[in-house]
Chain A
Amino acid sequence: MPIRRMPFAPRMILPLAQHIGKPAVPTVSVGQEVVRGQLIARADGFMSVPLHAPADGVVEAMELRPSARGPWTECIVIRAYEASTQALRVGAARDMERLSPEQTLQAIQDTGMVGLGGAAFPSHVKLTVPKDRNIGTLVVNGCECEPFLTCDHRMMLELTDDLIAGTRYAMRATRVGRAVIGVEDNKPDAIAAIQARLPADGAISVAAVETKYPQGAEKMLIKSLLDLDVPAGGLPAQVGVVVNNVGTLAMLGRLLPGGHGLIERVVTVTGPGVARPGDYWVPLGTPMRHVLDWAGAGDVSEREIILGGPMMGQAVASLDVPVTKGVSGILVFDRNDIEAESRRKIYPCIKCGECVNVCPMGLNPSMLGMLAGAREYEAMGAHYHLGDCFECGCCTYVCPSNIPLVQQFRVAKGLLREQAAA
């Protein structure tokens, strides 16, 4: 099922902090009219990205609104005009071929691009190679972040040229000569599509990797593609690699030449509670309620709504939460799933070792779990490498005793962080 467009919601809610780093600074005022694609908030320094208007309309308010994580954050609220179309108009076309790496990075920042793989980390930061390092390979992460999600798959099929172009831009920005696109082997069509479009010079290649969550985790992917171990607690850059999600690069390829801003993204809307599941082009700022109604999940009276995938996604508290740059999927579970979940009885750890076998980081969740139970958080950090846990949730997934392992680990990390801070 190809990607479908989703109409504008009457009101668009655009948090100024949709990315890791400093929030953007508004450049418009309440009551002002905006045009789709127009800059409405500028980047506040290097570790920040600008924001663009998703639709023609008028700035109705700038106020605090609930965010997915719970706390209320500063948002620009835009009332979209009925007449607004979804064509890309505003934007100063540029000739990418003649840009220097620095200029390319600047262009990337200007599009407001962040990692669409989930972390929403400013792409230009990631692509800025530190002086002391030299990056050898650009890894393009074509794994589907999590079960249920299909957006990356669709984009690889439908935006193949953009993907290739975007990859080239990223390569220029980082000055790397080689890029590898890693795609899970359950998507042969995507692999074929990309193969057909690969440039002749062979700088870009595509490789199939085993379909096994969390294959898409940077460290895992780098391991399976290049057989490099990113040091515990380290960043990919330390082994001369930068990882970008296919979505990120495809969007770069699509937006950079026309000098457009990131104002919409592909989102997978699915789950048992959804009547018309699939991938949609969703304008940034569209409230959850609108998306659900459109996808036919509006009248589920009792449900769980998750931003992202089932393994790492975030349950949202309010239907007014908007779609932001980091949202790759919306998952809706209905009553039955919830009850099935709540019926599960929690037993003590029976040392079955499943979690140890499954942990991609080679940790010992069983031990960590028992330590957490005994509130021995220091030991967890000091002797059992809690810090290396990237919360993939595999341990909780398999635990026959239904112990909320990763959940406990988050708490423990939080507490340790607070202690470290204090």
Chain B
Amino acid sequence: MAPESLAQIFLGAVLANNFVLAMFLGLCPFLGVSNRLATAAPMGAATTFVMLVASLCAYGLNWLVIHFNIEFLRLISYIVVIASAVQLVEMVTKKYSPALFRALGIYLPLITTNCAVLGVALFQTARDYSFMQAITFALGGGAGFSLALLLMAGLRERLNLASVPNVVQGTALTLMLAGSLSLVFMGFAGMGAGE
């Protein structure tokens, strides 16, 4: 049971310790899929959802491995179960809610298990979060990921119309933006601390 309050956990994961910009989780999708606003929102939603699933799975699994005293199977069980859970969700949505699937489904395979998703599981375990804390953490992480994605997409769309030097095109540009955003988010450090 970690000392932080739910609010601190959530705000932290969104701002000061933003999953992408401060904790370096889920960078590959962040760098890869942040070039268009249209895709940013659904991508963020899908990721958030998957992170929630992962968090739930991990919480249960962790209890099991501790209970049966087989910690050495923790990682392998996490990855396998989370992966299959997401695939399951994917199939279910495809079957029962095609609309939702069209909106998010295409992104699911992209994120089935990226650092952000497994990261939620591992960090909540390492910090032995309670159930509520874990869920809050997952939601905050997802929100943070989405926020970063939206901001980045907006900036990149605008820069598409600017005369950016050739040398700076591509990943370098995205990284510079990410760095600057990360600087900005430092401003929220210590939110709710000390109280």
Interface of A toward B, CB cutoff 8 Å: 348, 370-371, 373-374, 376
Shortest beta-carbon distance, B14 to chain A, in Å?
28
Chain A interface: which of B40-48, B106-114, B157-165? Answer: B157-165
9 contacts between A and B (CB under 8 A): A348-B162, A348-B163, A370-B161, A370-B162, A371-B161, A373-B161, A374-B160, A374-B161, A376-B161
Specify which chain A residues have a CB less than 8 angstroms from the CB of B162 in the assembled complex. Answer: 348, 370
- Supply 7 further A-B pairs (C-beta < 8 A) apart from A348-B162, A374-B161: A348-B163, A370-B161, A370-B162, A371-B161, A373-B161, A374-B160, A376-B161
Chain B 21-35, CB-CB to A under 8 Å as 1, else 0, gives 000000000000000
A172 to B160 alpha-carbon distance, docked (Å): 57
Q: Which 8 A-B pairs have the closest CB atoms?
A: A370-B161, A374-B161, A348-B163, A371-B161, A373-B161, A374-B160, A348-B162, A370-B162
For A348, the closest partner residue in chain B by CB is: B163
Specify which chain B residues have a CB less than 8 angstroms from the CB of A373 in the assembled complex. Answer: 161
Interface of B toward A, CB cutoff 8 Å: 160-163
A348 to B160 alpha-carbon distance, docked (Å): 14
Shortest beta-carbon distance, A298 to chain B, in Å?
45
For B158, the closest partner residue in chain A by CB is: A370
Specify which chain B residues have a CB less than 8 angstroms from the CB of A370 in the assembled complex. Answer: 161-162
Shortest beta-carbon distance, A343 to chain B, in Å?
23
Q: Which residue, of B160, B161, B163, has the highest number of chain A Cβ atoms within 10 A?
A: B161
Shortest beta-carbon distance, A224 to chain B, in Å?
35
A370 to B162 alpha-carbon distance, docked (Å): 8
A370 to B164 alpha-carbon distance, docked (Å): 13
For B163, the closest partner residue in chain A by CB is: A348
A373 to B163 alpha-carbon distance, docked (Å): 9
Shortest beta-carbon distance, A183 to chain B, in Å?
43
Interface of B is mostly: loop
A252 to B149 alpha-carbon distance, docked (Å): 64
Shortest beta-carbon distance, B91 to chain A, in Å?
36
Shortest beta-carbon distance, A146 to chain B, in Å?
32
A348 to B161 alpha-carbon distance, docked (Å): 11
For B161, the closest partner residue in chain A by CB is: A370
For A372, the closest partner residue in chain B by CB is: B161
For A379, the closest partner residue in chain B by CB is: B161
A252 to B163 alpha-carbon distance, docked (Å): 54
Specify which chain A residues have a CB less than 8 angstroms from the CB of B161 in the assembled complex. Answer: 370-371, 373-374, 376
Shortest beta-carbon distance, A346 to chain B, in Å?
12
For A373, the closest partner residue in chain B by CB is: B161
Specify which chain B residues have a CB less than 8 angstroms from the CB of A374 in the assembled complex. Answer: 160-161
A131 to B163 alpha-carbon distance, docked (Å): 53
A370 to B163 alpha-carbon distance, docked (Å): 10
Shortest beta-carbon distance, B37 to chain A, in Å?
12
Specify which chain A residues have a CB less than 8 angstroms from the CB of B163 in the assembled complex. Answer: 348
A348 to B163 alpha-carbon distance, docked (Å): 9
Shortest beta-carbon distance, B190 to chain A, in Å?
33
Shortest beta-carbon distance, A45 to chain B, in Å?
47
A281 to B163 alpha-carbon distance, docked (Å): 52
A374 to B161 alpha-carbon distance, docked (Å): 6
A376 to B160 alpha-carbon distance, docked (Å): 11
A370 to B158 alpha-carbon distance, docked (Å): 9
A386 to B63 alpha-carbon distance, docked (Å): 61
Shortest beta-carbon distance, A345 to chain B, in Å?
15
Specify which chain B residues have a CB less than 8 angstroms from the CB of A371 in the assembled complex. Answer: 161
A376 to B157 alpha-carbon distance, docked (Å): 13
Specify which chain A residues have a CB less than 8 angstroms from the CB of B160 in the assembled complex. Answer: 374
Shortest beta-carbon distance, B161 to chain A, in Å?
4
For A376, the closest partner residue in chain B by CB is: B161
A348 to B162 alpha-carbon distance, docked (Å): 8
Shortest beta-carbon distance, B27 to chain A, in Å?
28
A374 to B162 alpha-carbon distance, docked (Å): 8
Specify which chain B residues have a CB less than 8 angstroms from the CB of A376 in the assembled complex. Answer: 161
A162 to B124 alpha-carbon distance, docked (Å): 87
Shortest beta-carbon distance, A370 to chain B, in Å?
4
Shortest beta-carbon distance, B31 to chain A, in Å?
22
A414 to B163 alpha-carbon distance, docked (Å): 25
Shortest beta-carbon distance, B35 to chain A, in Å?
14
For B160, the closest partner residue in chain A by CB is: A374
Shortest beta-carbon distance, B154 to chain A, in Å?
13
Specify which chain B residues have a CB less than 8 angstroms from the CB of A348 in the assembled complex. Answer: 162-163
A371 to B160 alpha-carbon distance, docked (Å): 9
A374 to B157 alpha-carbon distance, docked (Å): 12
Shortest beta-carbon distance, A377 to chain B, in Å?
13
Shortest beta-carbon distance, A155 to chain B, in Å?
46
A189 to B15 alpha-carbon distance, docked (Å): 65
For A351, the closest partner residue in chain B by CB is: B158
Shortest beta-carbon distance, A302 to chain B, in Å?
34
For A367, the closest partner residue in chain B by CB is: B161
A371 to B157 alpha-carbon distance, docked (Å): 11
Shortest beta-carbon distance, A51 to chain B, in Å?
49
Shortest beta-carbon distance, B43 to chain A, in Å?
21
A184 to B182 alpha-carbon distance, docked (Å): 55
A376 to B161 alpha-carbon distance, docked (Å): 9
A374 to B158 alpha-carbon distance, docked (Å): 11
